[in-house]
Chain A
Amino acid sequence: MTTAAPADHHTTEAPRRNILLRPGFLRAAWMSVLFFGIGAGIMVVVRYLEGWEPLWKGDVITTVSLTMVPLGFLAGIGVFDYWVSYAIGRPTKPDDHSSHGAYSWKDYFKVNTDHKVIGVQYLGTNLFFLLAGGLVALIMRAELARPGMQYVDPQTYNGLFSVHAALLIFLVIVPAFAGLANYVLPLMIGAPDMAFPRLNALSFWLLPMGGTIMLASLVVPGGPFATGWTGYAPLAVHQPLGQVFFNMGVQWAGASSIMTALNFLVTIITMRAPGMTFWRMPLLVWANFTTSLLVVLATPFIAGSQFFVMFDRVMHTNFFNVSEGGYTLAYQHIFWFYSHPAVYIMVLPGFGIISEVISIHSRKPVFGYRLMAMSLLAILVLGFSVWAHHMFVAGMAPWLRVPMMVTTLLIAVPTGIKVFSWLATMWEGKLHFTTPMLFVLGFLSMFLLGGLSGIYLGSVPIDIHASDTYFVVAHIHYVLFGGALFTIFAGVYHWFPKMTGRMYNEKLGKLHFWLTFIGFNCTFLPMHLIGLQGMPRRVADYAPAFANWNMFISISSFALGASTIVFLYNVVVSWRFGERAPGNPWNALTIEWLVSSPPPVFNFDEIPQVVGGPYEYGVPGARHAILAPAREPVPEEVPAG
Chain B
Amino acid sequence: MRRGAIVQLLVLGLLAAGFATAVALLFDWLPEPASRQAGRIDFLYWLATGISIFVFAVVTAVMIYSIVHFRVRPGDDTDGPPIHGNTRLEIAWTLIPTLLVIVIGVASAIVLSQNSNAGSNPLIVKVTAQQFSWQFAYPHNGNVRSAVLRLPLNRTVELQMETRDVIHSFWVPEFAQKQDVVPGLVTTLVITPDRIGTYPVICTELCGLGHAVMRSEAIVMSAAGFEAWVKGNASAVSGGGAAAGKAVFAAQGCGACHTFKPAGATGKVGPGLDSLFKDAQLAGLSVPDFIRQSIVDPNAYVSPGFPKNVMPGNFGSSVPKSQLDALVNYLIPPTTKVVSP
A interface with B by C-beta (< 8 Å): 149, 153-155, 158, 226-228, 232, 234-235, 238, 322, 326-329, 362-365, 367-371, 393-395, 398, 401-402, 405-406, 409-410, 412-413, 416-417, 419-421, 423-424, 426-433, 441, 444-445, 448-449, 452, 455-456, 458-462, 464-465, 467-469, 528-529, 532-534, 536-543, 587, 616-619, 622
Contacts and interface: CB of A to CB of B under 8 A. Distances in A.
Contacts of A393: 169, 178-180
Nearest to B212: A539
A537 B62 CA distance: 35
B155 to A, nearest CB: 21
Find the residue from B83, B116, B187 having the highest chain A CB count within 10 A: B83
A364 B63 contact: no
Given A365-B82, A618-B80, A431 B72 contact: yes
Contact of B48 (A327, A427, A459): A459
Nearest to B78: A430
A395 B83 contact: no
B197 interface: no
Closest 7 CB pairs of A and B: A322-B184, A534-B173, A618-B82, A539-B212, A468-B204, A429-B80, A618-B79
A619 B59 contact: no
Interface of B: 27-31, 37-38, 40-41, 44-45, 48, 51-52, 55-56, 59-60, 62-63, 66-67, 70-72, 76-86, 89-90, 93-94, 97-98, 101-102, 104-105, 107-109, 111-112, 115-116, 165-167, 169, 171, 173-174, 176-185, 187, 200, 202-213, 268-269, 307, 309
A419 B93 CA distance: 10
Contacts of B173: 465, 533-534
Find the residue from B55, B67, B77, B178 having the highest chain A CB count within 10 A: B178
Contacts of A227: 206
Contacts of A329: 182, 185
Contact of B90 (A226, A371, A458): A371
Given A328-B182, A368-B84, 10 more contacts: A153-B209, A158-B206, A362-B80, A363-B72, A413-B94, A413-B98, A413-B101, A431-B67, A467-B204, A617-B80
B31 A235 contact: no
Given A154-B212, A429-B80, A468-B169, A417 B178 contact: no
A327 B66 contact: no
Given A423-B62, A462-B45, A234 B183 contact: yes
Contact of B180 (A394, A401, A461, A617): A394
A147 to B, nearest CB: 10
Find the residue from A406, A416, A444, A528 having the highest chain B CB count within 10 A: A416
B72 A452 contact: no
Contact of A618 (B81, B108, B166, B200): B81
Contacts of A398: 116
Given A426-B70, A459-B104, A235 B80 contact: no
Contacts of B66: 423, 426-427, 429, 431
A419 B59 contact: yes
Contacts of A468: 169, 171, 178, 204-205
14 contacts: A365-B82, A367-B83, A367-B86, A395-B185, A424-B83, A424-B89, A461-B111, A464-B115, A469-B204, A533-B173, A536-B204, A541-B213, A617-B80, A618-B79
B108 A460 contact: yes
A410 B179 CA distance: 25
A370 B63 CA distance: 23
Contacts of A419: 59
Given A322-B183, A460-B108, A461-B111, A368 B85 contact: yes
B171 A427 contact: no
A369 B84 CA distance: 7
Given A154-B210, A433-B71, A619-B82, A395 B177 contact: no
Contact of A428 (B48, B80, B107): B80
A429 B97 contact: no
Contacts of A326: 184
A538 B207 CA distance: 10
B108 A158 contact: no
B206 A232 contact: yes
A619 B79 CA distance: 8
Contact of B185 (A149, A328, A534, A617): A328
A617 B206 contact: no
A395 B187 contact: yes
Contact of B183 (A328, A459, A461): A328
Contacts of B177: 464-465
Contacts of A362: 70, 80
Find the residue from B31, B80, B90 having the highest chain A CB count within 10 A: B80
A365 B56 contact: no
A430 B108 contact: no
B44 A461 contact: yes
B225 to A, nearest CB: 25
B321 to A, nearest CB: 24
A410 B78 contact: no
B80 A539 contact: no
A616 B83 CA distance: 9
Nearest to A617: B79
Contacts of A460: 108-109, 112
Nearest to A430: B72
B83 A365 contact: yes
Contact of A455 (B29, B51, B174, B178): B51
Given A371-B90, A413-B98, A462 B105 contact: no
B97 A416 contact: yes
Contacts of A394: 180, 182
Contact of B83 (A364, A417, A537): A364
Nearest to B207: A235
Nearest to B66: A426
Contact of A409 (B60, B101, B181, B210): B101
A452 B55 contact: yes
B192 to A, nearest CB: 14
Contact of B105 (A409, A534, A538): A409
Contacts of B28: 533
Nearest to B37: A461
Given A367-B83, A367-B84, A401 B184 contact: no
B39 to A, nearest CB: 11
Contacts of B90: 368, 371, 417, 421
B208 A235 contact: yes
A239 to B, nearest CB: 8
B209 A154 contact: yes
A598 B160 CA distance: 65
Find the residue from B56, B112, B182, B206 having the highest chain A CB count within 10 A: B206
B41 A462 contact: yes
Nearest to A362: B80
A467 B84 CA distance: 41
Given A448-B59, A536-B202, A410 B209 contact: no
A267 B80 CA distance: 33
Given A371-B90, A534-B202, A455 B97 contact: no
B24 to A, nearest CB: 11
Contacts of A441: 63, 67
A370 B44 CA distance: 35
Nearest to A162: B206
Given A235-B206, A412-B101, A618-B82, A427 B62 contact: yes
A417 B309 CA distance: 52
Contacts of A540: 212
A168 to B, nearest CB: 18
Given A226-B209, A410-B101, A538-B211, A235 B167 contact: yes
A461 B41 contact: yes
